[in-house]
Amino acid sequence: MIAEAAMRDWLDDAWSRTEVVQIVTGGEDGGPLDGREVLAELRSVESIAAVRSPTTTGPFTGDRREKWKGP
């Protein structure tokens, strides 16, 4: 298993190079990304930063694989 510090470094590097974020159907368990319907596409620095924070903050405690119920 990758150490938490190494994972944070990898995420920081990946997000720093991100130019486009696509939100697609199927979630994490939806299989290959090719061919999935694109629900939203984020291109501005501000919108990419807004989705970065909730996906990379807090402790890594394991993959709970809970289905998101929405707001």
Q: What is the extent of the structural domain holding 45?
A: 4-28+35-56
Instruction: Between 34 and 69, name the one with better pLDDT.
Output: 34
C-alpha to C-alpha distance for 26 and 36, rounded to whole angstroms: 8
Q: Give pLDDT, residue 60.
A: 64
With respect to residue 13, please indicate whether it lies within any of the assigned structural domains: yes
Residue 54 has pLDDT above 60, yes or no: yes
What's the predicted TM-score (pTM) here? 0.66
What are the pLDDT digits (tens) for 19-44?
999 989 987 778 888 889 999 999 99
The DSSP element (H or E) to which 5 belongs, if any, is: helix 4-16
Q: Give pLDDT, residue 14.
A: 92
What is the torsion angle, in degrees rounded to the nearest 10, for the CA atoms of residue 31, residue 66, residue 7 and residue 58? 150
With respect to residue 61, please indicate whether it lies within any of the assigned structural domains: no
If one counts the domains in the chain, the total is: 1
Output the six-digit token pair for 56. 């990379």
Contact (Cβ atoms closer than 8 angstroms) between residue 55 and residue 14:
no
β-partners of residue 22 are 41
With respect to residue 63, please indicate whether it lies within any of the assigned structural domains: no
Q: Give pLDDT, residue 29.
A: 78
